Amino acid sequence: MKFGGTSVGTPQRMKDVVQLITDGEQNLVVLSAMSGTTNSLIEISDYLYKQNQEGAHTCINKLQDKYLGHIAELYSTDEYKELTTKVVGEIFDTIRSCAKTDFTSLEERIIVAQGEMLSTNMVTNYLLEQGYDVQLLPALEFMRTNADKEPDLKYIKEHAEQVLAQYPHNGIYITQGFICLNVDGEVDNLQRGGSDYTASLLGAAIGASEIQIWTDIDGMHNNDPRFVENTTPVSHLHFVEAAELAYFGAKILHPTCIQPAQYANIPVRLLNTMDPTAPGTTISNITEHRKIKAVAAKDNIIAINITSTRMLLAYGFLRRVFEVFEKYKTSIDMICTSEVGVSMSIDDRTNLIPILNELKKFGVVEVDDNMCIICVVGDLDWRNVGFESIAAQALKDIPVRMISYGGSNHNISFLISASDKQRALQSLSNHLFN
Ligand code: ADP
Ligand code: ASP
Ligand code: MG
């Protein structure tokens, strides 16, 4: 069971979470930091990168005061108020010890990791105060990434099992989402929103019966509720559909968190802490035929086009183009080809300049920045007629840079200008769902 930032965002919410995890089952509970805390820790790091000790310490003290307020509200006994004040004080000492003049990414990662340390200690102590049989498991003892910065599945499984085996009889286990050690044994994390990924990795590692992602909304909606009115929850998604929606911008799920659950074939349920009896979304290997499920949008996309008459009837051209992206470890999201050109989209601009310089050896290169991918997900098997034309019809008034269809049976993607995103999402909802 994973609870996100809003779900543990106040002492009252923490009490609500305790209601849900003490259902008599053996539950492994993954917690995010309280909402706002990771952002505050990043802000503290930002001051430290800028050598502004005063700014950093003002933020640290303010954040600690906030936690002291939470402690006063959460616990009813002096014993647990004192105990938790001490633990929280130690965590803030760790943050202060990182406030060095030679501040590096390692200190930043240690600071950012403390949000999950705070929330898990707070909830564990509350459970103990209430008399529950709970064990706090330090995520850094089993969550680890490899040399490719990917989760080290073998290590995670072996170590999670070892740690759990030390406490075979506990009802509730609490651990930190998001944080891990990297291949060098340094504190690291699974990127923003990474607690979802922790939950699915651990669910797969221990062979859980179900992976529950508890958040602040009643499941995956059929469009982004931050931009579109009248979205509704989708009751069921295939793993591939959920993975594509997550990757293409549905913020409710971390982009890569579906894969471990899919490989282990463990259903994932998206549930609402604010409305625990709502059915939410179930993600499994069951396909519902002839249904468009949802639309998502991915921002900050760059489109690159290369045209060359040398491509005409030539072989090996695409390989040479792709080798440039491989060399700079930049993944391509969308691709469209014609006989004289190829267009691709990327979202990682780290090596954009050297990539463009090398591509210019092959043809005329054009770049469109500030683009966005709109991804329509559902049963888009090519033998089904009609869905792609409805989606295209919905975008009839919007300039479309690229269309990608047929790459999987679950997706049709449109590349449009970011300024048209909201209009496109709303129109797709109107045509596909309303
Ligand atoms: P948590 O802190 O629990 O991890 P997130 O903020 O990461 O929660 O994800 C939940 C939010 O995702 C929702 O409040 C909603 O605004 C946003 N969201 C974006 N797209 C969707 C979608 N298709 N369905 C549901 N929520 C979405
Ligand atoms: N606390 C981390 C973040 O804010 C991880 C998470 O919430 O999933 O990104
Ligand atoms: Mg999240």
Measured in angstroms, how far is the CA atom of residue 190 from the centroid of ligand 2? 9
**Non-local CB neighbours of 180 within 8 Å, separated by 6+ positions:** 139, 140, 143, 144, 145, 151, 188, 189, 190, 198
228 lines ligand 1 (CB under 6 A): no
The stretch 257-275 carries a mean pLDDT of: 97
CA distance from start to end of the chain? 33
Measured from the Cα of 295, ligand 1's closest atom is: 23
Q: Which ligand is nearest to the CA of 34?
A: 2
Report whether residue 115 contacts ligand 2, using a CB cutoff of 6 Å: yes
Ligand nearest to the CA of 213: 1
Residues 6+ apart with CB under 8 A from 371: 301, 302, 303, 345, 401, 415, 416, 417, 418
Q: What is the CA radius of gyration of the chain?
A: 24
The Cα 61–Cα 36 span in angstroms is 15
Looking at all shown ligands, the one closest to residue 280's CA atom is 1
Q: Where are the domains of the chain?
A: 2-216, 292-432
The 3-state DSSP class for residue 301 equals strand
Q: What was the pLDDT predicted at 216?
A: 96
CA atoms of 8 and 399, how far apart (whole Å): 42
Ligand 1 midpoint to CA 307 (Å): 39
Please state, rounded to an integer, the average pLDDT across all residues of the chain.
96
Q: Which atom of ligand 1 sits closest to the CA of residue 296?
A: 23
pLDDT at 170 over 80: no
Q: What is the mean pLDDT of residues 144-170?
A: 94
Q: What pLDDT does 208 receive?
A: 96
Minimum-distance ligand 2 atom for the alpha carbon of 196 = 8
Rounded to whole angstroms, the Cα distance separating 175 from 135 reads 9
Task: For 194-249, write each residue's pLDDT tens digit.
Answer: 999 999 999 999 999 999 999 999 999 999 999 999 999 999 999 999 999 999 99
Compute the distance from residue 311 Cα to the ligand 3 centre, in Å.
43
Q: Is the CB of 7 under 6 A from ligand 2?
A: no
421 has pLDDT over 90: yes
Ligand 2 mean position, distance from CA 66 (Å): 18
Ligand nearest to the CA of 176: 2
Residue from 251, 254, 432, 433 whose mutation best tests the ligand 1 pocket (most atoms within 8 A of CB): 251
Residue 255: CB within 6 Å of ligand 2?
no
Contact criterion met (CB below 8 Å) for 152 and 260: no
> 372, 422 in Cβ contact below 8 A?
no
Q: Between the CA atoms of 61, 73, 20 and 221, what dihedral angle is there, to the nearest 10 degrees?
A: -60
Residue 339, pLDDT > 90, answer no
pLDDT at position 310: 75
- What is the pLDDT averaged over residues 7-35? 97
Q: From ligand 3's centre to the CA of 5, what distance in Å?
A: 7
Q: Give CATH for domain 2-216.
A: 3.40.1160.10
Half-sphere CA count of 152, side-chain side, radius 13 A: 22
Instruction: Tell whether ligand 2 has an atom less than 6 A from the beta carbon of residue 178.
Output: yes
Q: Is the CB of 267 under 6 A from ligand 2?
A: no
pLDDT digits (tens, 9 = 90+) for 318-336: 899 999 999 999 999 999 9
What φ, ψ does residue 12 adopt, rounded to 5°?
A: -65, -40
State the pLDDT at residue 434. Answer: 84
Residue nearest to atom 5 of ligand 2 (CA): 193
pLDDT exceeding 70 applies to what percent of the chain?
Answer: 99
Amino acid 317: pLDDT: 86
Q: Is domain 292-432 classified as CATH 3.30.2130.10?
A: yes
Is 351 in contact with 330 (CB distance < 8 Å)?
yes
Residue partners of 178: CB distance under 8 A and separation at least 6: 32, 33, 38, 113, 115, 116, 189, 190, 194, 195, 198
Q: Indicate whether residue 226 lines ligand 1 (CB < 6 A).
A: yes
Average pLDDT (347-361) is: 96
pLDDT tens per residue, range 102-121: 999 999 999 999 999 999 99
